[in-house]
Chains A and B, each alone.
Chain A
């Protein structure tokens, strides 16, 4: 194996950090092994299930495929950032209230994608929700409840915006 340690510097959940990596390390390797963050998880290992979703410079990527080296200079957010101020984000609260998970292993990915959806489309239709979340898999199949949760979060966020 080609040993070539590189130092990367990036912003992780709002904090400036650095990590020494090998060129083949994935984002998940670094999150797990360097920063003990376990919310993004490897499942299918092919970027097809969404369990490993993290946000890099505002874009969702598959942490199991995305190389850690590419994080250098980037802004990275994981599920652990959603309640950074100690308060659950409305999408997190909506997932609890709607019962939108069973085992919870896929939940981080669904939360980050749902948050991103609502940021770009505050009032999505059911078809838009399904389309946007079609890259995330839930083997417990809590899909109907996930759709309910996104609608609930959308309603609550919009109410706050309108000052209701």
Chain B
């Protein structure tokens, strides 16, 4: 019997599918979102945004707006500077002003705010503000910006907040906020000795998360400080950053969240909170800052990238060297881009065993809306390139695509390009599972005439963000019920349910008896954030440890009271025995931070670059209409390796949801800018996200059987895993169907149509 079997047999909650505990509130319209919140006497804030991509602010005339009846105040950076002398924020660099100071750096940047009791009046007054700009040359493309003499920032100021970003440097005369490198072996030698060398450039586009609950923050002054109610994935960081901006202690800033109507990385670190805090201080009244869907496109996005990848291969198909150059279009403010550049950058050579690797990953400022975290944290951009090239190489060498990966896959026990030895990374199992699901070894009907079919697979991997901390408190009440206090934000991933299951597992309770307290920094302890598929692993451990601590204390108390401490204990009996009535609590605390060693600054080498690896693969079949370029995804098979699935049904939904979301970025979504950096499609009327009719005709999900040794109950994260392999699999399936290789996302029908009729003569003659 394996360890998994012996442990799993004893679990009463873990590994059993449980519907979300908040299910009833979500189907009755009762679920609490910050979106619902109004505060007595509050003012609505509406934001005037820059109309130019780069320019000096010559003047702002607020007189007419202020004269509109019902307008409480018109706020510009001058007012902000009076209450916050250094109003620049950000998790990596303190580069983003609360309202533009002196100059604007992208179209859509907040320049002024109108406050009014009536949001319609605030909106109307925006049109009465006159701003005069002195336009400056702007730079939009990430590769151009890397060497341009148009500088988005005059100087860079590293934030110094997170230990993994301590190496960021303050620099001048550059748009590059971070160069991250990996060096191992000798790539030049590998290229010179190779049988074949392949070199390609792949690009991805800027997209937006579009959480359906648009970003919203309310701030109010209290007798002792300020309370910020915010739809945020990172309440602890918001508290830290707002306190820093105000020069207050963390105990003076209280941050509360509720359920989030989606996050996907958009609601991370600090977004509207800095502005809401400043406005509450200026107005001395509660203020609500609520964005429209349109405004979200001007707030945070996913990095567009250019990825140049050069690969040395033997005639047998063994990869011997790989050089990767990645430029990340970070937009006007760094947000968490430098971490994306590093954490995804070091995986750029793919999940392959390559002796010689050279990676340069550049985070670049441009005059576009800022880019930051987006489900996958840069991994989808990497997989798109290295898996597309894997298929190109396999085809060129006449090797089967799955076989090519079998030859090169990184096995447990082998060193990753960073020097970290691979462990518990089920790459082979995931690849074999997707191949089996696709019946890859069976003949495939490619169709005839104008309808041609093809298939493709892609596999990707992601390291867990480190070093990060989670702290949890588990408190047992004297009726035997239980409270979990923790900072994990439930934005749909089912964390409330899972954390209740974990506490219940340890304490022998029914999860229905466990209440997970939503983040309120006055009562929930520190958590780095809800991001990067980290909560199951980090907070899962912290809650487990807190529950075990509570259990130990309950045993101790039982022993003192002369009860049998080894028997199954019930807090109701123990506490009533102790206090003679239904009174008291038993409180356990748990804190978790995994081991981690920072990569060397010059070589990217580290013997422990991540606590674990998350693996995802996708197989697709497409059918292409060769006359129009229109294609359908007939089938999508998603496979994830996430260690133990703790709540299997929820995990499945996350895998398939991530894959469908990524389908949008592959097929439709693209923020469309004109030559002046004006965004032309910031609305659902012109920016299409996947709907019901965009589902593949057949779609299945499978979870690979695995066990993560250092995970809670053998688990690791899953929130992003489903999105890794989708893009390249579709491009490869199209290539397989009609012999056209596309190297830029998104893959629109018209792009394929043009490619088919412009550059596929062999196919046209074939179809005669």
Contacts and interface: CB of A to CB of B under 8 A. Distances in A.
B684 A111 contact: no
A107 B693 contact: no
A41 B692 contact: no
Q: Which secondary structure characterizes the binding site on chain B? A: loop
Interface string B11-27: 00000000110111111
Nearest to B663: A141
Given A46-B685, A95-B27, A96-B27, A102 B657 contact: yes
Interface of B: 19-20, 22-31, 33, 35-36, 38, 70, 118, 120-121, 124, 209-214, 259-264, 292-294, 491-494, 649-650, 653-654, 656-661, 683-685, 689-693, 695, 699
A126 B272 CA distance: 41
B124 A41 contact: no
Contact of A39 (B29, B260, B491, B657): B29
22 contacts: A1-B120, A41-B33, A42-B214, A44-B684, A45-B292, A45-B294, A80-B29, A96-B19, A101-B20, A101-B26, A102-B493, A102-B653, A103-B213, A104-B27, A105-B213, A131-B693, A137-B689, A139-B210, A140-B262, A141-B660, A141-B661, A143-B690
A95 to B, nearest CB: 5
Contacts of B33: 38, 41, 105
A139 B259 contact: no
A78 B683 contact: no
B411 to A, nearest CB: 33
A82 B29 CA distance: 10
Nearest to B209: A139
B261 A104 contact: yes
Nearest to B70: A1
B212 A43 contact: yes
Interface of A: 1, 24, 32-33, 37-46, 48-49, 51, 78-80, 82-83, 88, 92-93, 95-97, 99, 101-108, 111, 129-131, 133-147
B55 to A, nearest CB: 28
Contacts of A96: 19-20, 23-24, 27
A131 B30 CA distance: 28
Given A101-B26, A141-B661, A43 B214 contact: yes
B690 A39 contact: no
A79 B30 CA distance: 9
A96 B26 CA distance: 9
A130 B699 CA distance: 15
A137 to B, nearest CB: 6
A104 B492 contact: yes
A134 B692 contact: yes
Contacts of B264: 139
A42 B212 CA distance: 9
A51 B684 CA distance: 13
B653 A142 contact: yes
B653 A41 contact: no
A16 B427 CA distance: 62
B121 A1 contact: yes
Contacts of B293: 43-46
A97 B19 contact: yes
B27 A102 contact: no
A80 B28 contact: yes
